Amino acid sequence: MEQNRIVMSEFGTVAQPDPCQSYLGRFLSRFVPRTFTDNCNINWAQYGDEFYAVTDGTLMRKVNPNSLETLHKVDISDRIAVHSTSSHPHTAKDGTVYGLGSRFSYRSSYNIIKIPPHDQDVKGDPLSNASILCSIPASGTYPTFYHSFAMTDNYFVFVEQSAVINLLKVLYAQLFFKSYIIGMEFHDERPTRFHVVKRYSGELLPQIYTSIPFLSFHHINAYEEAGHLVIDMCIYEDGSILRDINLKDLRNGVKPAQFGKAKRFVLPVGETIEDYRGGSRPNWLEIFKADVTLKEDGSVYCVPQVIADRNVEFPRMNYELYNGKPYRFFYANGGELNQKLLKVDTKSVTSEEWFEDGCFPSEPIFVRSPDCKSEDDGVVLSSVVDLRKGKHSFLLVLDARDFTEVARAEVEAEVSFGYHGMFLHK
């Protein structure tokens, strides 16, 4: 605001040159590495008893959870050698936090980051003991785009998808004042690859798993069953969504050509892979209605199963009790512009919805009951931006079981639309 211009390039916007610089200064600034955004507006993360606003870069902002006062800035790349991170870390029962970060070079890599539990009685930075548990070499010349990953009781699953980052175009963006989105490409000739890592040893399994080309932002859940890994994700069949969410187009009523679909992938692990040799197909696989083929080269090809009857995005579920475990329900946004809230039953492939015209709800956040007796025993929270004349935006509370409204709390102030949120137990 002080500079009255965009001073830092973002995903779809570009920094404007400083008008006070000389022509030579502006030219030389093209060869100075840009500082990645500290606009940490994507998600929240908890490390020990500290809370941070995070983004997909390496910078995060420590925030006082009681007053929401913004405190100091932290750069995770000062602790470990990564150039970007996922804004969707996973938290284990013992308080260990696992993240994912990329290292860009002529041979890029994807790295599972481990942040051990922080002793509440010991002062210090909970991120100071961060380490790399496993490094996964990139399969192609250009590293993949990702936003999240999966964790089960015994494994991590990283999806190397068909959406890639063209590092040469990113360099071009640096030199010619372009936004980084020009480096995003979708290679439909490049199959998706699933990488499986043992959670406790960090061992990368050599087995190759591939599937249809797709783009994904969010995992729903993943779990283990009968020697298989079951991975549920919101996926897009091409990369058009990256450009269809252009603000100018959205303001002009242009709707995206592709919408997210909830699909399930089933990966056999260990000795279970042999059950598919010779084209055989175990009868119990009908439970998933997904297809698995063991190819002649020893790789496993997976065809996904649809688990929702409509388009979905921003999925949430009963994370505390069911992350990494068999589950049935998840909650998401839906509709052409994500104007609906949905409860999806993955068993019956049906859904229930909440919708009010002129309202734009945030991601639905599930909060379980203190004495939770069933998977959907709790409430769903959503911050709703209400654009109707004379109306106020509000916090919506839905009963997670029957998806009926319990209450709403209106706010007599301008409220920005948010992507992700966190409920803090007090």
The 10s digit of each residue's pLDDT in 131-177 is 999 999 999 889 999 999 999 999 999 999 999 998 888 887 777 66
Overall pTM surpassing 0.85 (yes/no):
yes
d(CA 32, CA 21): 14
End-to-end CA separation in angstroms for the chain: 35
Per-residue pLDDT at 422:
92
Residue 363, CB-side half-sphere exposure with 13 Å CA sphere: 20
Residue 90 assigned ligand-binding role: no
The pLDDT tens digits of the residues spanning 344-400 come to 999 999 999 999 999 999 999 999 999 999 999 999 999 999 989 889 999 999 999
Residue 420 assigned ligand-binding role: yes
- Amino acid, single-letter form, for residue 341: L
Three-state secondary structure readout of 134-190: EEEECCCCCCECCCCCEECCCEEEEEECCEEECHHHHHHHHHCCCCHHHHEEECCCC
d(CA 89, CA 92): 10
Where in the chain are the domains? 23-318, 319-426
